[in-house]
Copies of this chain bind each other. A is one copy, B any other.
Amino acid sequence: MDQINSYLETHKERFIDELIQLLKIPSISADSAYKKDVILTAEEVKKHLENAGCDVVEICETDGYPIIYGEKIINNDLPTVLVYGHYDVQPPDPIDLWTSPPFEPVIKATKTHPEGAIFARGACDDKGQMYMHVKALEFMTNTDNLPCNVKFMIEGEEEVGSVNLATFVKNNQEKLKNDVILISDTGMIAKDVPSITTGLRGLSYVEVEVTGPNRDLHSGLYGGAVANPINILAKMIASLHDENNHITIPGFYDAVEDLSNEERAEMAKAPFNLDNYKDALDIKDVHGEKGYSTNERNSIRPTLDVNGIWGGYTGEGAKTVIASKAYAKISMRLVPHQKWENITQLFKTHFENIAPASVTVKVKPHHGGEGYVTPIDNIGYLAASQAYETTFGKKPIPQRSGGSIPIVALFERELKSKTILMGFGLDSDAIHSPNEHFGVWNYLKGIETIPYFYKNFTKLFQEEHK
């Protein structure tokens, strides 16, 4: 099994180059202008799974972008690991803040990654982390180290809410049957502080439209006499948080679990330095819900953020206009037990209720998903923990993440198995931001660690099922 190190030594240049080729394709699922590229990426993933040793690989059509399914079944008495990942990426804008083009990958050294990091949209989220699993499979098949069955399900709509994955999973429960689900689409605390994500937040994403007059108006002739949809939208958004930064939507907190002081004390043990946090973001002060720490605010508490806003004249110079319409994209991060459809409805009702008679309001639900928690006594978690211990030389810390992978809750519901989130990215990798990157060291460390998970899990599974 320690062959992995020599195998990596021999093939790492190729592993890096293959990922770079994949990153050159702008598979932006949110923007239909890139449809061809998204589909081309799907075909590339299929090819790579075949080369890595899958016996069967299918491009499964959906109402949106295809899902790539691959499998290598070596023995039906052995457990099956289902790997999930996505080949689509976030839009790169604001494009002008990238120091190199988002789809022309380059390796640059950084303070955190002195041995170099691959800069490109999707480098970490999720092409790079997904491809670690493909290369780990290549190693296990080429060196007879695959101890169990493996299935892959790689989708192309994660960044737009996995709109068609739910149907696919519901309709393919037998095909996707597994004993544990393995995902690398999260991060770890630091290169020398390995961690495993045990909790995810849910998500409700909506778009709102506020309409005032039926046309843009001259702000001199009408200013002060008619409702300005931008001013009204600002007032409505402002009213969604009270002076303690609690969210004011009636019923919003009803299902939120209150963690015990013991649990909160346990969380507080994770290494965290507020000054370093503020320095890294170049902010004078943090900002959030009264009564909770920064780490609690972005993990165990639900939130509401405006992700985009636009209206009126936004070009160069000045235009004295009152816009007819103003828009915002608003997302809420949810904690376990909050149901996203319910929260979306609560938002819609509330937002429509607080609109003054001088405007009309439309709320368009976008997508969403539930939160998720993995118990740390689960054999999947133990297998992963031991794998990190082997390759990092220290036990990983269980960590609740503020991010969302909405389909994880769905997997548990439909496939009746737990998901293990083995992330190798870092917060500083700037996923969803300009200059996203993924450390070469982290990439190779992931490929090194994953095979140990397979070995440990198979062993623990067989003990459990003796």
Contacts and interface: CB of A to CB of B under 8 A. Distances in A.
29 contacts: A31-B316, A214-B281, A214-B283, A215-B435, A217-B432, A217-B433, A219-B307, A220-B403, A220-B404, A221-B402, A225-B286, A225-B288, A228-B306, A230-B308, A233-B234, A234-B235, A283-B358, A283-B359, A284-B360, A285-B358, A287-B356, A307-B313, A308-B321, A309-B309, A309-B314, A312-B329, A314-B327, A318-B331, A318-B367
Interface in A286-315: 286-289, 294-295, 297-298, 301-303, 305-315
A239 interface: yes
Given A30-B318, A287-B226, A282 B234 contact: no
A458 interface: no
Given A220-B201, A318-B205, A285 B357 contact: yes
Interface in A344-395: 356-360, 366-367
A312 B319 contact: no
The complex is assembled from copies of this chain, and their number is 2
Contacts of A235: 234, 237-238, 241
A317 interface: yes
B333 A224 contact: yes
A128 interface: no
B309 A366 contact: no
A254 interface: no
Given A221-B402, A234-B233, A306-B231, A317 B216 contact: no
Interface string A262-288: 000000000000000000011111111
Given A226-B287, A234-B238, 19 more contacts: A29-B317, A31-B316, A213-B282, A215-B281, A218-B433, A219-B307, A219-B333, A221-B401, A221-B427, A223-B305, A224-B288, A227-B283, A227-B287, A235-B238, A286-B358, A308-B323, A310-B310, A313-B329, A318-B366
In the A-B complex, list the 10 residue pairs whose CB atoms are closest, starting with the nearest.
A30-B317, A220-B403, A224-B303, A227-B287, A308-B312, A214-B282, A238-B238, A287-B358, A234-B237, A225-B298
Q: Which of A214, A309, A357 has the most CB of B within 10 A?
A: A309
A393 B288 CA distance: 67
